[in-house]
Structure 1
Amino acid sequence: MYELEYDSKLDQFTEVIFNEFSDSSDEEEDNTSIPLLILKRRKIKRHVRSSLTNFTLARLISRSGKLNVFLTKLSNKNLTYIKDLGNTLLGIQWKWILFTLIVVNFVCFFAFGLLWYGIAISSGDFDQNNTDFCVINTRTLTGYFLLSAETITTIGYGYRYPTEQCNLGWLMLMLQVLLSVAVQGVLVSVVYVKITKPISATAQKIFSKKAVICIRDGKLRFVFRINDFKKKIWCSTYISLYFIDKELVYPNEEYDMIQMKIEPHGLLIFPLEIEHVIDEESPLWSFRPLDILQSRFEIIAVAEGSSNITGQISQNRTSYSNSDILWGHRFEPCVDYDTAKNRYVVDYKKFKQTQPFDTPLCSAKKLKDIRRKVSLQE
């Protein structure tokens, strides 16, 4: 009878009885079974993979960290956006920011151009016998529009300019200057905050593209990599992991979110491998490789911290679905020491690369049962 043998030096299992992979506890043992050598994850044919991919649902959190949750049937939805205009401007896309910038400036130029046009009429600029004009060198609406633009942008008057003959002209100048300061200040602040906040590409650079399930120290672990090359979350770094089961059994059932425990991690001076031990409290406790491929779930990784340069607090998110998890792989080492320059070198190309690793093709629950049977036989 073949038994499961664990080599502590190589950190791997060598051989196991084939029928031990069955999760049925009532199945009879077959001593004539041929042992299966545990090497690497079996490749899935393309047509099988496509059918499994169609079975999955859309992500709650995209790879770039964008939230895929929207509100519906919200009363006065447009009014809500207007009331919270600050967050609305910060949350909309860049094309709408630029569109808002153009529209607001054009409306201000045109509105104050009409006001200057009205002041010029009331001041008698269009009277044939008038020699003291309110606005010099303009009698058209286009000219007053350009005068308004010159006043708001403070580029200085040139060919056309107002004089002291304008009725309430001084009040118009004060209103334009104050309004231009307010409008430009708000728009510049919005643009600055959107530039300095974490952009969508940051999450893809911080987290590894794939996650792996491999065995370490005799335990199955869910592992992904994280780095902070730009030092955006270097200070007070907090990393959390959540499991969301998308298998709804009953109609109108809510999704369950389970927080997954992770092993203590160090400083982000090097790329770190964040580990989750698959034990009795883990939502992956009874998952086999086939369950990983066929089940609909999502594992969300969240990294929070403050920048070492600006001190700004930021949060980066990403998600791993069943297509992003490699069973029987581990990450390649990416940190080396350069003896010529006396410094540590991080190979970024290897940051996301994985390699096959000897891993049992059974769930962590079944692996514990196999160990228990082996210990009893000894």
Structure 2
Amino acid sequence: MAERRRRRARLVTKDGRCNIEYGNIHYTRHFAFLADFWTTFVEIRWRFVLFFFIASFTLSWFIFGLLWYWIARSNGDLAWQDPSPDHTPCVDNVVGLTTAFLYSLETQTTIGYGGRAITPVCPGAIALIIIQSLIGAVINCFLCGVILAKISLPKKRAKTITFSEMAVICPKNDSLCLSIRVANLRKTLMIGSQIYGKLLRTTTTPDGDTIIMDQVSIDFMVDAGNDNPFFVCPLTLYHIIDKSSPFFEMAVDNIHNQDFELVVFLDGTAESTSSSCQVRTSYIPHELMWGYNFMPVISRSKEGKYRVDFSNFAKVVPVATAHCSYCYHNIKGHHHHSTLGCENQGFEVIEIDDPSNVTKM
């Protein structure tokens, strides 16, 4: 049970959502959300956006319908007021509450069926139609802006960037490294990509104070360096486990008994929309595989085209790896695995033999 609770207690889920809740917030703090109403409307759920969309238009039509009814009543235009044959109404064919509501709807939506029209005999009616037209334009602009902003949120672009479900620890470039694989599912690039990590763990100070969620920076790099990687194909990120690394004291025998969470961030700008986005994922001790390495995914065909085999994206193979970082540099003993690792079940498998599914560069 303790192990199961430890697996569930993660700050960042695999799809990047933050698993945190706020409590004991004073009710006056909620007015800050109303002051920043634009961000509030963009971040609320779609069901509430649709509710406000329908409610704002319907309520404005009804309120202005009552005002048109009041103007018609003040001028004696209603049917129950029995106007004289030579009577000039403020609005033609507005003779009741229903027709007043219909005229309000036609005015604000600029439909204009032609059955009801304003006349120049009532200055109040002319002022009201100007006010309703302006308010209707403001409602249209605001709600259309909210819907467009929600559709174009950068987090939608982040859905097409995926990380491997597992991280591996194995030798690489004469160092013991922790490796993670990331892929961009779209052919459009992520410009100015920056990849970094944070190790979250609970520590105790020499004074006996407990620090929950203490953060330690973790540097990741690719073979070409960690500055603006060319993110056109799946990349393997690796962190060198040296004396300055928080993983240096860990070994194959105790890493799964540790209590930490490795959060990996990828910041970049989408090439097609120029919008900045951040992709997040996390790894807990049971998602770190010691003594494994990722299988290659990039190959070259006889025609000279580069191909990416996504079926190997999260597949791993066992490799000879020292029991710990100290052993890697000082002892020649190695730790072997006899079984293959697990695969990322949530990643789409693409058959490399099918030309329609081949990623072409």
Mapped pair 1:62 → 2:18: no
Mapped pair 1:363 → 2:321: no
Gaps of 5+ in 2: 334-361
Q: Structure 1 residues 148, 315: closer, same or farther in 2, change over 3 A?
A: same
SS at 2:274 equivalent: coil
Mapped pair 1:256 → 2:196: no
Matches within 5 A, 1:336-375: 336-340=299-303, 342-360=304-322, 362-370=323-331
1:273 Cα offset (Å): 0.5
* From 279, 283, 307, the counterpart of 2:246: 283
User: For the Cα contact (< 8 Å) 2:161–2:279, is it kept in 1?
Assistant: no
User: For the Cα contact (< 8 Å) 1:232–1:305, is it kept in 2?
Assistant: no
Gaps of 5+ in 1: 1-49, 373-378
1:233 Cα offset (Å): 5.8
- Count of matched residue pairs: 321
SS at 1:144 equivalent: helix
User: For the Cα contact (< 8 Å) 2:321–2:328, is it kept in 1?
Assistant: no
Task: Show the counterpart of 1:121.
Answer: 73
Task: Show the counterpart of 2:138.
Answer: 182
Task: Show the counterpart of 2:347.
Answer: none
Name the CA distance, whole Å, in 2 between partners of 1:268 and 1:254: 35
Q: Structure 1 residues 292, 111: closer, same or farther in 2, change over 3 A?
A: farther
Name the CA distance, whole Å, in 1 between partners of 2:6 and 2:240: 27
* From 129, 134, 146, the counterpart of 1:173: 129
Q: Structure 1 residues 347, 170: closer, same or farther in 2, change over 3 A?
A: farther
User: For the Cα contact (< 8 Å) 1:65–1:203, is it kept in 2?
Assistant: no
User: For the Cα contact (< 8 Å) 2:157–2:270, is it kept in 1?
Assistant: no
* From 236, 239, 261, the counterpart of 1:273: 236
- Once the two structures are superposed, residues 11-54 of structure 1 have per-residue CA deviations (whole angstroms, 9 ceiling, x without a partner) of xxxxxxxxxxxxxxxxxxxxxxxxxxxxxxxxxxxxxxx75222
User: For the Cα contact (< 8 Å) 2:203–2:211, is it kept in 1?
Assistant: no
Calculate the TM-score normalised by the size of structure 2: 0.79
Matches within 5 A, 1:143-162: 143-162=99-118
Identical amino acids, percent of aligned pairs: 28
Q: Structure 1 residues 252, 138: closer, same or farther in 2, change over 3 A?
A: farther
Aligned amino acid, residue 111 of structure 1: I
Aligned-residue CA RMSD (Å): 2.6
* From 49, 62, 65, the counterpart of 1:110: 62
- Once the two structures are superposed, residues 83-124 of structure 1 have per-residue CA deviations (whole angstroms, 9 ceiling, x without a partner) of 111111122222222222122222222221222122221222
Name the CA distance, whole Å, in 1 between partners of 2:274 and 2:187: 10
Name the CA distance, whole Å, in 2 between partners of 1:268 and 1:256: 31
Higher-RCO chain (CA-CA 8 Å, sequence separation at least 6):
1
1:82 Cα offset (Å): 0.2
SS at 2:161 equivalent: helix
